[in-house]
Amino acid sequence: MNQSSVIPVIAIDGPTASGKGTVAQRVAERLGFHYLDSGSLYRLAALAAERAGVDLADEPGVASVAGRMDIRFAEGKVWLAGEDVSDEIRSERASQNASLVAALPAVRDALLQRQRDFRQAPGLVGDGRDMGSVVFPDATVKFFLTASVEARAERRTKQLKEKGMSAIMADVVKELRIRDDRDMNRPVAPLKHYPDAYLIDTTDISAATAVEEILGVYQKMP
């Protein structure tokens, strides 16, 4: 047995603004586990490609950049080539660009092992769109968080405004629908609720409630 396979993994997947990032971070903190925000890797890949002058439709080019980019996660911040890009990769533009490059098979391949390398003792909580289906198919337990598009748009609009970015609710709803369609219909690792993942609808519950639900399931695992 691969030694890393005995390290527990809690995989949390779901669409944009379903609450998975906040929930995953809190679960990791409660358990003292490492945390992987896989979406940030695709945001970083898109940003690094743009900065290198590579067209985001250039699959081999973006994959090459993704495979060699210098990234670091520390103290709640994200660094690219030594620069703090935490806020830049959270813009709506970065979100759309991430969705574009995430649909490229070669880019996903380039980032797959980088994601798996986050699996370190005492354990890992990973959030994304294919954590349980592709990156960690042997995860200890898998969850799929979802919410109505209206609830997610409201959260996303609030997030953007809190960061000082302009956001119109109707535009955010439209952008979420476009991204959902792209993520669910891409040919590689589409966003999907698989039967082996516990479904949690966060439309009408708080992040704290979702955290307790996940911890309750995990702590009952054999």
Percentage of the chain beyond pLDDT 70 is: 98
Distances in Å between the Cα of 113 and the Cα atoms of 67, 123, 124, 206 are 10, 17, 15, 33
- Token pair 């629908």 is found at 177
> Residue 152 — pLDDT band, cuts 50, 70, 90?
very high
DSSP percent split of the chain into helix, strand, coil, nearest 5: 50, 15, 35
> Residue 190 — pLDDT band, cuts 50, 70, 90?
confident
pLDDT of 199 strictly over 80? yes
The answer to whether 75 and 151 are in contact (CB under 8 A) is: no
Please state, in angstroms and rounded to a whole number, the distance separating the CA atoms of residues 162 and 1: 46
Contacts of 17 (CB under 8 A, 6+ apart): 147, 152, 153, 155, 156, 159, 176
Name the 3-class secondary structure at 91. Answer: coil
pTM of the model: 0.87
pLDDT of 156 strictly over 90? no
Which pLDDT belongs to residue 83? 96
pLDDT of 1 strictly over 50? no
What is the average pLDDT value for the chain, to the nearest integer?
A: 92
Which pLDDT belongs to residue 165? 77
**Domain ranges, ordered by start, for the chain:** 8-218
| Cβ neighbour number for residue 97 with a 10 Å cutoff | 20
The arithmetic mean of pLDDT across residues 77-104, rounded, is 91
CATH of 8-218, one of 1.10.10.10, 3.40.50.1970, 3.40.1050.10, 3.40.50.300: 3.40.50.300
Kindly report, residue by residue over 116-138, the tens digit of the pLDDT.
999 999 999 999 999 999 999 99
Half-sphere exposure of 101 (CA within 13 A, CB side): 32
Q: What is the DSSP track for 6-46?
A: GS-EEEEE-STTSSHHHHHHHHHHHHT-EEEEHHHHHHHHH
In 32-168, alpha helices (H): 38-51, 59-68, 92-102, 105-116, 149-162
Point out which residues pair with 36 in neighbouring strands: 126
Name the 3-class secondary structure at 65. Answer: helix
Kindly report, residue by residue over 10-60, the tens digit of the pLDDT.
999 999 889 999 999 999 999 999 999 998 999 999 999 999 999 999 999
